[in-house]
Structure 1
Amino acid sequence: MTELLWGSRPQPRRGPKPALTLEGIATAAIAVADTEGLAAISMQRVAGELGYTKMSLYRYVPGKAELVAVMTDLAIGEPPQLDQDADWAGQLAQWAERLFVGFGAHPWLLETTAGPRLVGPNELGWLERALAPLGDTALSAAERLDAVTVITGHVRTIAQQSLAAGPQQRPEEQLTSAMTQVLAEHGERYPAVLAALGAVDPAEQNQAMAFGLRCILSGLRQLMAERAVGNG
């Protein structure tokens, strides 16, 4: 797995020149996953997309698990270029927005990037890009990692909700629609929910991504300010 992700796998010296490449195989697999989901991925299916036999692929990748790992790092892409003139909060906001776009483009990444696993150079580069702006802040090393984890978790949650809502309806609109009939009959039992949904300004709907990120960054800024006062 390490050799595949980090490009140190030795190339075969004998036989005909390879007709396929690992990147080409992963690119074809990404196209399948984007349109049909991760469950559609198999060595047989990807080989068929490329016009080769399944056995042909094993020369480049040992199996599906390794292929998915390569797909993941390739689909994540190179880490975003952030505005170096922005402060740490502005750079992290940009980073989070780019991550959200990436999950939207490849929804299956929500599954393949969850849990402990060997990460590739692109994914590690994203972490590097997020941690760099926090390097000169008052946060400890553990807190910097935790801050990125919290931001990633927020982005992941909103992306999952958006995916569940579908392309034609945004999460908060779907929630309101689903509750309208129930609240019409049982609203007296849930006065706070009824009051909140009844007073929502449509212009302020579907702002959970920006609102949550603003709260996280404001909390981090407050913590840094408190530490500055304590150390002053």
Structure 2
Amino acid sequence: MDVGKIEESEIPVGIAVAWGLRDRPGKGPKPALSLPRIVQAGLDVARADGLAAVSMARVAKEVGVSTMALYRYVAAKDVLLELMQDAAYGPPPEATADQDWRAGLTEWSWAILHAIRRHPWVLQIPVSGAPLLPNQITWLERGLTCLSGTGLAESEKLSVVMLLSGYVRQWAGLSIAVGAAGPDQAARYAKTLARVIDPVRFPAVCAAMAAGAVNDEWDDGDTEFVFGLDRVLDGIAALTHARS
């Protein structure tokens, strides 16, 4: 499909407004309401009361309009959540001068993790499709740009960015869940496992326990994140070497 020939009418209203393709939805007098104001109200509700509290009616109340007025800007709650998620991530950090691909993608990955930690509710929004909103595309552009000069095919660059994004998202969800469980979760886990484990059936797990790999204190989450990120980047490095 020729992207340049896509009719504006084919783009959902909220997406079109987010990209500046439409100043406002619908006809008639220009309302005082704006899409950024609606999205910010949704962010405020999610920050204060969690994502479950976000509804079209609640957001409409926050901005002082009727729910129907909100639909002139946002066609459905799902669209509002996508716009909120895009705003929560914000733009990626600017590239550092003379940065190689590995340093660039490391910085990129950490920036995503920090964004999720600032707004952990974004993980509750399921991934429903390819990135389409302005900040999403800016993050994608930044990640792909890091891979310039690596010799990877464009499809491989895109796959690398998707791989890293998935790793960061998965780790963020795990670390947030562990943190929410409380500081004594690790001790409970280790004690329970020690009582139920069968060394004949699970010799590898028992060996890990005997070596102290499974203990009553969780390792620093950032240390574990770095370990996994480095292994992913090692694999990408091997691919770039093969291509060169």
Q: Shift of the alpha carbon at 1:204?
A: 5.4
Identity of aligned residues (%): 36
The residue correspondences of 1:12-91 to structure 2 (distance < 5 A) are 14-15=28-29, 17-91=30-104
Distance 2:130 2:140 in 1: 14
Is the alpha carbon distance of 1:50 and 1:96 closer, same or farther for their aligned partners in structure 2, counting shifts above 3 Å?
same
Q: Shift of the alpha carbon at 1:60?
A: 2.5
Contact persistence 1:4–1:70 (CA under 8 A): no
The residue correspondences of 1:213-228 to structure 2 (distance < 5 A) are 213-228=229-244
Q: Encode CA deviations 1:21-74: one digit per residue, 9 max, x unaligned.
A: 110011010111223332221111111222332233233323312222221222
Q: SS at the partner of 1:108?
A: helix
Residues 1:184 and 2:194 aligned together: yes
For 1:148, the equivalent position in structure 2 comes to 161
Q: Shift of the alpha carbon at 1:193?
A: 3.3
What TM-score does the superposition give when structure 2 sets the normalisation length? 0.80
Distance 1:117 1:223 in 2: 24
Is the alpha carbon distance of 1:20 and 1:143 closer, same or farther for their aligned partners in structure 2, counting shifts above 3 Å?
same
Which of structure 1's runs of 4+ aligned residues deviate more than 6 A?
A: 199-203
Q: SS at the partner of 1:220?
A: helix
For 1:205, the equivalent position in structure 2 comes to 220
What TM-score does the superposition give when structure 1 sets the normalisation length? 0.84
For 1:93, the equivalent position in structure 2 comes to 106
Q: Which runs of 5+ in 2 are unaligned?
A: 1-11, 200-204
The residue correspondences of 1:96-175 to structure 2 (distance < 5 A) are 96-112=109-125, 114-117=127-130, 119-166=132-179, 169=182, 174=185
Contact persistence 2:144–2:158 (CA under 8 A): yes
Distance 1:169 1:10 in 2: 47
Q: Which runs of 5+ in 1 are unaligned?
A: none
Is the alpha carbon distance of 1:185 and 1:58 closer, same or farther for their aligned partners in structure 2, counting shifts above 3 Å?
closer
**Counterpart amino acid of residue 50 in structure 1:** V
Q: SS at the partner of 2:120?
A: coil
Distance 1:186 1:69 in 2: 44
Is the alpha carbon distance of 1:204 and 1:82 closer, same or farther for their aligned partners in structure 2, counting shifts above 3 Å?
farther
**Counterpart amino acid of residue 215 in structure 1:** R
For 2:208, the equivalent position in structure 1 comes to 193
Distance 1:90 1:41 in 2: 37
Distance 1:33 1:84 in 2: 36
Distance 2:66 2:196 in 1: 59
Contact persistence 1:26–1:74 (CA under 8 A): yes
**Counterpart amino acid of residue 194 in structure 2:** A
| Structure holding more helix per residue | 1
Q: Shift of the alpha carbon at 1:227?
A: 3.6
Distance 2:240 2:152 in 1: 7
